[in-house]
Chains A and B, each alone.
Chain A
């Protein structure tokens, strides 16, 4: 405690900055360098401690997860109402959220593609108004992207045609990124 010229706070900030730029007052002083090493080890160990305790957590309770998901569904972002059966006397609606679910499902069914997001442009709440659909996808690396994009466009168009009454003017596919299969993904 005697010869310490640098506070632990300063050492911690230096560590936060990734030890850049090089600070000779810290690095070249044996006591400060030793304190810095201790702090770095403590930081690492604290993260490991949490990871260790997380690994020891029991499997999540089924009822707990179900409870959370129930509340999530209550707060679902369902978006606009889209009319169905416009010719009939009764006015039926499908939510925009449900249509987006359809689009995701259709896009995901194409090998190597994952839908990231999608949007419906146009006045979907007015029957027969033209709508443009934009689907952002992530493509599996190694797949031939133009073909995949065409397949996604086709699958999405077909799904919308079959299950909605939207007048789809165009389905635009945007490749947002390229992903790798994370085979060793730990859950």
Chain B
């Protein structure tokens, strides 16, 4: 244990003796919480979950298009995260790993709801999962560009929108996207290419 440790006394500006405050889990890093949770600490897991829950929920809402489905998907994802934490090899990147589990559970749910063969993306009209009209304060906060992106995403067919989100927000590979959507990798690439075309065209029109 010959660590290059420095004697204490660096925080003189706080006055008082230099005994540090007790460390609470809420101030711990994601990596630390992930490692504790992997070691079986339920409290660390709950802290980690609460920290990222809103993003997980927003992501699942975007993917499923339904707040109720999102809640169910995030619940299943949470249990899976707890179960699979001991296998996580990069605890510091736990957030991205959690988001991948969220998307996996979101599509498990979508697949279980959709009987079969509803893969005709052009036929499905996308709904905006979260309505801005309900909340003027939020609308005012959102930048103009963001509101427009929201509209542009809502106008995309489901598969294109989902491919885009999985790739650009979730950082998933073509293969992973294909698996979620139940299509071939080539088809996933095609969906993503069309999403890019449509969104960049929209974006150029904003200038």
Contacts and interface: CB of A to CB of B under 8 A. Distances in A.
A4 B52 CA distance: 40
Of A39, A49, A56, most buried by chain B (CB within 10 Å of CB) is A49
Interface of A: 7-9, 12, 35, 38-39, 41-43, 45-57, 60, 64-65, 67-69, 71-73, 75-77, 79, 97, 100-101, 104, 108-109, 111-118, 138-146, 149, 173-175, 178-179, 181-183, 185, 187
B28 to A, nearest CB: 6
Nearest to B75: A68
B24 to A, nearest CB: 9
Given A75-B79, A182-B27, A145 B46 contact: no
B50 A60 contact: yes
Given A38-B204, A46-B169, A144-B8, A117 B36 contact: yes
A50 B35 contact: no
Of A7, A68, A183, most buried by chain B (CB within 10 Å of CB) is A68
B46 A69 contact: yes
B199 A42 contact: yes
Nearest to A143: B8
Contact of B39 (A72, A117, A144): A117
Contact of B200 (A35, A68, A114, A138): A35
A112 B20 contact: yes
A43 B203 contact: no
Interface string B56-71: 0111011000000001
Contacts, number: 177
Given A9-B189, A42-B199, A104-B36, A64 B1 contact: no
A101 to B, nearest CB: 7
A38 B57 CA distance: 28
Interface string B9-25: 11100000001111100
Interface of B: 1, 3, 5-11, 19-23, 26-29, 32, 35-36, 38-42, 45-46, 49-51, 53-55, 57-59, 61-62, 71, 75, 78-79, 82-83, 86, 130, 135, 138, 141-143, 145-146, 149-150, 153, 164-165, 168-169, 189, 192-193, 196-197, 199-200, 203-204
Given A38-B203, A68-B75, A181 B196 contact: no
28 contacts: A9-B192, A39-B196, A41-B203, A42-B149, A42-B203, A46-B168, A49-B146, A49-B149, A50-B169, A51-B55, A53-B62, A54-B58, A56-B58, A64-B71, A68-B78, A72-B45, A77-B86, A108-B23, A111-B21, A112-B20, A114-B28, A117-B35, A117-B39, A142-B6, A144-B6, A145-B3, A179-B28, A179-B29
Contacts of B6: 141-142, 144
A111 B61 CA distance: 41
Contacts of A41: 145, 203
Contacts of B142: 52
Contacts of A60: 50, 53-54
B54 to A, nearest CB: 4
A8 B197 contact: yes
A44 B152 CA distance: 15
Contacts of B145: 41, 45
Nearest to A176: B35
A82 to B, nearest CB: 14
Given A46-B164, A53-B58, A64-B75, 4 more contacts: A50-B59, A69-B46, A75-B82, A79-B40
B150 A116 contact: no
